[in-house]
Amino acid sequence: MVRIPSDVRPAKLIKLMESLGFVRDRQSGSHIIMKHSGPPGRTIAMPEHQVIKTGTLRGILQAVSEHTGSPIEKLTNEL
């Protein structure tokens, strides 16, 4: 099992997701909606809090991993 960092800020996660082809689609309150530019166009919502909780971060990374094919280990190392 991969150890998820507990000090990830939204800006770092947005930068990682943008490097994988996601774009910032819109913002609804305190949540940012990221959309993948390629087909099938996966949409992921993420909170814009001071620090993203580990359970939330794990869910976001799993969704990104499933869509892009990048292993979660690689994604966590890039954070």
Q: What three-state secondary structure class fits 62?
A: helix
Token pair 């990104």 is at which residue? 64
pLDDT band per the 50, 70, 90 thresholds, residue 63? very high
Sorted by where each starts, the structural domains of the chain and their CATH numbers stand as: 10-78 (3.30.920.30)
| CA atoms within a 13 Å half-sphere pointing along the CA-CB vector of 1 | 4
Tens digit of pLDDT for each residue in 24-43? 999 989 999 999 987 777 89
| pLDDT score of 37 | 81
pTM, to two decimals: 0.88
Contact predicate 54/6, CB 8 Å? yes
- DSSP of 17-71, one letter per residue? HHHTTEEEEEEETTEEEEEESSTT--EEEEE-SSS--HHHHHHHHHHHHHHH---
